[in-house]
A and B are shown apart, each in its own frame.
Chain A
């Protein structure tokens, strides 16, 4: 009941469709299926029972509903009517147009029948005519064909007859290529004619003569050294076509080109002037002219022009301020590379070989190989020239970088043409090698500068006694200078790292590592220089000072500078390869050993002096003492001089005055013992006294003379740091030891013994002030004891007399200072 209201349109559509017998569309099918065809209450079904439907309506619906239903049925009927009308009209119009079309067709078919008829007649006529022609010609066809062949042969004959004249003409007019082509054709014809055509022998021989002449003239031309490249190429090509031997001609050709280019490269003289960049063509021209000499002026100039033009095209003008080296490299590249490119093109064009097949392929490959070899050789010469250009002294690294860039640019098109020759790789290797060399040079220079700084420090000062303050300042400056030098060198090599590697498309790590290693070596150079043997103690001391300064800060600066250089380029890791800790330790060790050497030298110098004085003195016959001997004065003066020089290394350590300090020391136990012994011997009991002396000796402190003894000793709790006092003390110690040994070798009279007593007393007063006194006092005791043993008559001086002499000496020492 609800269905008519919900789907009135579909129902209508399906009704109409069924009316016109169309197939039920897919969407309509389920709607149809849902409708029971036997439902007598459905108005759309066949079994619709109108009276039952009306009856049920009347029975169950209200009046209002009935009226509504009636109205809706009326409107449905109306719309169905109008739909039907429309459909009928549409179909009617279609029917009318169909009728019209059929009518028209009918008329046309009637007209066509006549035309068909005429066509049939025509075809019949044509076939008849054709049959007639073929039957009439069939008799003479063979003859015609024969005549045609004869005509062709005659044409060839004519060509052969004309050949000598034509060849002559061609050669006369310089159309050599044409001549060769004609001859080749003739040879083919004659070969086809074979032995039957004995009459051609004359022509053949004449042609062969002509061609032989041509060949020999070509060979002559080939011999001409000044032949321009394209003519050379042409000649070789012609000779090949004339049956020349490929395996001798092609190598000759390549050899000629190679030689010419190599000569050009070797004779290359860079155009002077930086403004050459503006007129590169002219520069290239000049270069080409200079290279080729006057042998082939005209063609070569043209070639140069071409080269210059191409070069300009290939290498776009860079910054106008191109460096000299880069400019020269560019010129060299512009001179050679376009010619090589032409060579490659011509070679492939003329001799590349054509046709397919394995053999042709193989020959092509072989020829490519020959070409690659030749080009490789020329490029080798070019690279060598560039290497020489750039490995000259003092090519700044920026220029090197630029030059390498130019070289790579120049090589690039060639590389594209001939990847087999590995030119790019070779150029890259060259650039890398150059960069390495430059780094090495720079750092070797750095090494020289650093050792120069050391040398300068160590060289004898013309002023002699420079104040220790300024000396100290100089030493401090060494550290700064070293650091400055390192920074200088690093800034000079900087472009050779990342930028170059970027250009070469290689990794910069290797280069950075190389740099770090070389830098290490350069700094180590300084160490070696400092450790070189020197004769002057002062020089040794200053070297030690340099090493101390480097250990204190100079070395640590280096990795810092490295890091500053490398970090922006992402190579900070390589900076870690610089082992500054080990280097610092080495410098410190070097300083220690140099200080030891200094101390030893000083001690030996003093000892030698002292030995001479003691040996030269006649202790048996010397006069009674009247003062301290000059020996003591010299000793003190030498020690003081050493102290002053060495003080510049230890600015923090207060300078102890080399002067008697405090009151004159009291009588030593040894002297007292001697007095006792003398008293005893006066009483006749010498034995006990000598035993006492021996005991004294047994308990005397054993003095150590180890070289490390001056590094502060046990009392000075500064570890292994060398101290000024320690050094001076050690020198004094060794000198006194020499004194002891010398005294043991001498024999003393009464006065000699007294003199020695005076000197020892003075030393006892002076020396402990400047250095650790205990071992010195022990040594002085030892000397006194030895002297006592070696003296014929032991009569010591009174203590007061000693004091008077020493006081005198003290005054004169003071006076000498002020």
Chain B
């Protein structure tokens, strides 16, 4: 984790069918070596491609990359300490709608960092009762952040009104390791947890496309309430990751401790409910 190759090299290496991938050439290092278990994550800014944030236990660092013909270089352009004395950063996520906003989780707190000043913009103290494990921005609706934590809950926040979550779900029976928005239809949420379950949720009410703008046609009996669409119990062990397919809007995969990857799809009935 402490020596990070630039990802631009990755597509070639990850080409399918290559029998024995050649070792990747190292382009550059982000800073010097750091202690074991200190690095948490590296986050590439989706809006400004030259910006990378590296998340460490006690600090978050911002790097500016520059590519020259001969060599690439990285220079640290800013750093911010953890807001808590003892706390450490757990995860982070760049805001896809705002180039300079980086959401971070520090223990049970949430905060967004304005990377221009490296100061906290919005802070939610004790967003969860236990450490936060996952963050995701709504891809279609600005200022909406999804967080999951060790307190078995998944919460959706409107960062303009951060006092209470917009939605709070008791999602799993143990830690919720990750929760992500569907990239195309943000009424679908995917969560997974150490109770070895993957769950698909519907949150149409707080999505970018609120249900039934046409009030006359809306029949309350037909509109199903938000909630779980279905749980997937294919895993035997704690599930640590669940992601949506980048290409297909209805396919997702999950990975559990025992190395099992399960690829699943959204139930057709749910699909049609969204599409029609």
Contacts and interface: CB of A to CB of B under 8 A. Distances in A.
Interface of A: 600, 604, 607-608, 611, 697-698, 702, 704-707, 709, 734, 737-738, 741, 744
A9 to B, nearest CB: 109
Nearest to B128: A604
Interface string B139-175: 0000000000011100000000000000000101111
B130 A707 contact: no
Contact of A604 (B130, B194, B238, B257): B130
12 contacts: A604-B129, A604-B152, A611-B130, A611-B150, A698-B236, A705-B174, A738-B150, A738-B174, A741-B174, A741-B175, A741-B238, A744-B238
Interface in B219-276: 236, 238, 257-258
Secondary structure of the B side of the interface?
Answer: loop
Closest 5 pairs between A and B when the two form their complex, measured CB to CB:
A705-B173, A705-B195, A737-B174, A705-B174, A741-B194
A134 B261 CA distance: 150
A706 B150 contact: no
B130 A702 contact: no
Contacts, number: 42
Given A698-B236, A705-B195, A744 B150 contact: no
B178 interface: no
Contacts of A604: 129-130, 150-152
Contacts of B258: 697
Interface in B118-152: 129-131, 150-152
Given A738-B150, A741-B174, 13 more contacts: A604-B129, A604-B150, A604-B152, A608-B130, A611-B150, A698-B236, A702-B236, A707-B170, A734-B174, A737-B195, A738-B175, A741-B175, A744-B238
Given A702-B236, A705-B195, A744-B257, A607 B173 contact: no
Interface in B61-88: none
Given A702-B236, A705-B195, A734-B174, A600 B152 contact: yes
Contact of A607 (B150, B195, B238, B257): B150
Contacts of A702: 196, 236
Contacts of A741: 174-175, 194, 238
A709 B236 CA distance: 18
A737 to B, nearest CB: 5
Contacts of B150: 604, 607-608, 611, 738
Interface in B38-96: none
Contacts of A709: 173
Contacts of B257: 744
Contacts of B151: 604
A746 to B, nearest CB: 10
Interface in B186-214: 194-196
Contacts of B195: 705, 737
A600 B173 CA distance: 9
Contacts of B131: 611
B186 to A, nearest CB: 28
A607 B130 contact: yes
B130 A706 contact: no
A741 B150 CA distance: 11
A741 B237 CA distance: 11
Contacts of A697: 258
Nearest to A734: B174
A607 B174 CA distance: 10
B194 A706 contact: no
B173 A707 contact: yes
A741 B257 CA distance: 10
A738 B129 CA distance: 15
Interface string B5-41: 0000000000000000000000000000000000000
A815 B151 CA distance: 35
Contacts of A734: 173-174
A607 B151 CA distance: 9
A611 B195 CA distance: 17
A389 B196 CA distance: 67
A604 B236 CA distance: 23
B174 to A, nearest CB: 5
Nearest to B152: A600
Contacts of A607: 130, 150
Nearest to A698: B236
**Most-contacted residue by chain B among A702, A738, A741 (CB, 10 A):** A741
B213 to A, nearest CB: 33
Residue among A698, A705, A744 with the highest chain B CB neighbour number at 10 A: A705
A724 to B, nearest CB: 20
A387 B172 CA distance: 56
Nearest to B197: A705
Contacts of A706: 173
A600 B174 CA distance: 10
Contacts of A600: 152, 170
A744 B236 CA distance: 16
A540 B150 CA distance: 21
Contacts of A698: 236
A705 B152 CA distance: 11
A489 B129 CA distance: 42
Nearest to B235: A702
A182 to B, nearest CB: 79
A702 B234 CA distance: 12
Contacts of B173: 704-707, 709, 734
Contacts of A611: 130-131, 150
Contacts of B129: 604, 608
B189 to A, nearest CB: 20
A470 B274 CA distance: 56
